[in-house]
Structure 1
Amino acid sequence: MMLRFLVPVFAFLLMAEPALAQVGADLNISPKRVVFGPGERSATVYIFNQGDQPATYTVELVDRVMLPDGQIVAVADHPEARIESAQDLVQYTPRRITLQPRESQAIRVRARPGEGGEHRSHLTVTALPPESTGFTVDQAAGAGENEVSLQVVALFSVSIPVIVRDGAADARAAIDRLSVSKVEDQTLVSLDLVRQGANSVYGDVEIYTEDRAGRQLLTAVRGVAVYPEVERRTVIAPLPSPITPGQTLTVIYRNDDDADSGAVLATATLIAP
């Protein structure tokens, strides 16, 4: 008896399985987030097929929750999590798209006001396997009797947050537990971003060194959010080169939200041990 299975597996940005077939890895989406402030009711999201083959995608809203380590996971996998969902406030079209190679498609997103506060869901675009995905005649004939063969197909997905705010953003933050460590030959800067306002914060973590020559940017971690369901999240940034004892490090968390973009949300200084 020979059994053969085709098993779909969802992969968000990365699938660490060398034997599987990955579908939709050439999917790209822009912008990386959508924020509806007071009076803002429409936005456009663009999907790009950067591959060499036609591809079909589904579009859906999924509630996702942030964990303290910064991971974004489906609420369905963490039923104890509580978020203010935007699913009842957001409409979008189309919900299924087929794109030719190098083709793009606009998704129209609309939002209505909520009942105060901040609501969030994630617009999730998933590449579907083509109809030809499966076993070829040669593959089917190659299995021996009484063998079970398994083919895993990774369905590549990209999610972006869709946020609806009913008032002015209360985005405040602080930096806590700033430290420097060394793991083998790599110097690491670790810190906690602490959300202090009622809304989520989103921005860039910039790490500078200061000496007699002035302030110089060492590295930056772009697009770091802290959502309302967590009070803080840890950020670890590798430095491109070692630092010397006594050297001054300054960390700036700079707002990259649509409201008040570029403003400094938090800053901290450390003398390297």
Structure 2
Amino acid sequence: MKKIFLLATLVLFLVPSVYANLLVTPTRVELDNKRDKSAVFSLVNKSSETSRYEIYLEDKRLLDSGEFELLESEVPSTSLTPFTRYSPRRVSLSPEQGTRVRLAVRPPKDIKSGEYRSYIVFHQIPLASTTESEASKPSDTMKLSVTAYLRIAIPVIMRVGQLTAELTIESNGLNIQDDKQQLIVEIVREGQRSSYGDVEVFDADTNELLGSLKNASIYTENERRSFAITLNEPLKPNTKLLVKYIENDGLFEAKTVEQTVNF
């Protein structure tokens, strides 16, 4: 019988069960061109097996749909990659073993005011192949191997100058999915910097929190983004909602915007 060897590789992007196999902190880095020019990432292998990771930088843009588009053919003018250094570039971690990755940004002195962003990627790669004796061992059975390779991308943002943003909540709507109500909140952004924060939905009369979304991001390439906020319970007729978007207080001139909506 002819020996057949089949290897199937499945790459998973940020699937929670797989993501938990590698603990990375921080999950977002914000720098400037004055004092905060470096960061240290802590990696811990939470899986039960030894894993190897390749570390590199990449550029991508966030689409209005919430998906990312990898920028491979050209380096955008807002990329950090040309003047960012990091070490090490490959690590192997035993179960529960940790290590650190150091990153430093060295922008040119004449860098223009604005927001710059790239992503540092921790990409799981196969360990060394089996020994030659194992690889050459005859077998008449079909072997199917499915390997989930983890890929985590952490945004690294550097802001040059005191950048501001203006935000408004423009429109809302209700969506019913899987017997749950979701409030669609659209946030409009203008200005020089990106924004991230929390969206909260309250009953305007009782001030009861009905739903929330943490770490909503709107980058400089986005003029607007829509977010689906799952509500804790179905809305009663004639309910008045208060929708708030609260920027992270680490942002320059962080803002809170709100809108009332009747249903």
Q: Deviations over 1:235-256 (max 9, x none)?
A: 1111121111211111111112
Check conservation: 2:79, 2:117, Cα contact below 8 A. yes
Per the normalisation by structure 2, the TM-score is 0.85
Match of 2:260 in 1: 269
The equivalences for 1:183-262 within 5 A come to 183=177, 185-211=179-205, 214-256=206-248, 258-260=250-252
Is contact 1:175-1:191 (8 Å) kept? yes
Aligned residues: 256
The alignment-based identity, stated in percent, is 29
**Is the Cα contact below 8 Å between 1:202 and 1:257 reproduced in 2?**
no
Q: Superposition pairs for residues 36-47 of structure 1, below 5 Å?
A: 36-39=31-34, 40-47=36-43
- Does 2:162 correspond to 1:171? no
> CA separation of 1:205/1:97 partners in 2, compared to 1, >3 Å: closer, same or farther?
same
Give CA deviations for 1:199-251 in whole Å, capped at 9, x if unaligned. 1111111111122xx41222211111111112111111111211112111111
1:125 and 1:159 map into 2 onto residues whose CA distance is 6
Give the equivalent residue in structure 2 for 1:125.
122
Cα contact 1:62–1:121 (8 A) shared by 2: yes
CA distance in 1, matches of 2:138, 2:65: 42
CA–CA distance in 2 between the matches of 1:185 and 1:24?
28
SS at match of 1:53: coil
Q: Where do 5+ consecutive residues of structure 2 fail to align?
A: none
Counterparts in 2 of 1:103 and 1:80: CA distance versus 1, 3 Å: closer
Q: Under a length normalisation based on structure 1, what TM-score does the superposition of the two structures give? A: 0.82
Shift of 1:150: 5.7
Give CA deviations for 1:94-114 in whole Å, capped at 9, x if unaligned. Answer: 111111211221111111234
Q: Secondary structure at the match of 1:219?
A: strand
Between the aligned partners of 1:81 and 1:177, the Cα distance in structure 2 is: 35
Instruction: Describe the shift of the 1:139–1:49 C-alpha distance in structure 2 as closer, same or farther (beyond 3 A).
Output: farther
Cα distance, 1:191 vs structure 2:
1.8
**Structure 2 vs 1, CA of residues 140 and 177 (structure 1 numbering), >3 Å: closer, same or farther?**
farther
Whether 1:67 and 2:63 are equivalent positions in the alignment is: yes
What's the offset of the Cα at 1:66? 0.4
Deviation at 1:153, TM superposition (A): 2.5
What is the match of residue 180 of structure 1?
174
Q: Which runs of 5+ in 1 are unaligned?
A: 16-21, 144-148
Q: Give the residue type in structure 2 aligned to 1:49.
A: N
Q: Deviations over 1:8-31 (max 9, x none)?
A: 44321139xxxxxx9876012111
